[in-house]
Amino acid sequence: MVKITFLSVAGQKVEKKENDGEILITHPMEDDEELVLPLRSQRSPLNGLCCLTSGLVVFMSGLVLASIYVYRYYFIPQIPEESLFHCRVRYEDSVYAPLRGRQELEENVGIYLEDNYEQISVPVPHFGGSDPADIIHDFHRGLTAYHDIALDKCYVIELNTTIVMPPRNLWELLVNVKKGTYLPQTYIIQEEMVVTGKVHNMRQLGPFIYRLCNGKDTYRLKRHARRRINKREAANCHRIRHFENTFVVETVICDAS
């Protein structure tokens, strides 16, 4: 006897069992067996179409992202948002020591392309007569700030774009010479500045100069026509040698007489 739970077959003798309501169909078999036929689910063809569409969407999204990655990192030259360089340059010192031959200047340069400013750190030089300093050239504000570490004072002046290379140009210059330890041998020029007054509102200088000079005595400068400085004036002047171009600059800062 076979037990079927959902359909009856035409031409078979059907008996109803009153106790549990099951339909029994007699079938000649050697032993009594119970056969349960599974119900076949009714699957819509739309289910397969949805799965196929989802798979295609995922595949195309991955293909687009992979294409963007390859194009960005292999076809577009990468310029980092922040680049740090440790540089040394040799130059002929024709200002004070023409007989001493070549001099060497060392500094650390940070170039921030997105924020459009440069930060230069000049350690204690190997030669005398120049102070260690931190310098910021803010091209967005059009300002330069010198922090004389020996005096622990800040000096602010309008940015001189004829001497200071823009961040992108300076970055390209340093990348091109990064294969060697030294920049090509170069020369030195001099610029003179004089103190005009104290800065009281530090926030007007912008966030980068504010971080450098906040809490320090800060003074404004103006450029002075180049002239010979006598011994009395030299006692009130301080020098910072640095480079942000193909030549070295000696910035002479003098207190107002």
Q: How much is the pLDDT for 230?
A: 52
pLDDT digits (tens, 9 = 90+) for 131-185: 999 999 999 999 999 999 999 999 999 999 999 999 999 998 988 887 765 667 7
The CA distance from 221 to 229, in Å, is: 17
What pTM did the predictor assign? 0.66
Place of tokens 């090509």: 184
What are the DSSP calls for 29-54, one per residue?
-SS-----PPPPP---HHHHHHHHHH
- Exposed/middle/buried for residue 121 (C-beta within 10 Å: 0-12, 13-18, 19+): middle
With residue 136 as reference, give the H or E element that holds it: strand 133-138
With residue 213 as reference, give the H or E element that holds it: helix 207-213
With residue 57 as reference, give the H or E element that holds it: helix 45-70
Q: How much is the pLDDT for 91?
A: 84
The CA distance from 149 to 131, in Å, is: 7
pLDDT by position in tens, the chain (length 257) = 555 554 444 444 444 444 455 555 555 555 555 555 555 555 566 677 788 888 888 888 888 888 776 655 444 445 554 589 998 888 887 666 655 667 888 999 999 999 999 999 999 887 767 899 999 999 999 999 999 999 999 999 999 999 999 999 999 898 888 776 566 778 889 999 999 999 999 999 999 999 999 999 999 999 987 655 555 556 689 999 999 999 999 999 998 76
The CA distance from 36 to 14, in Å, is: 17
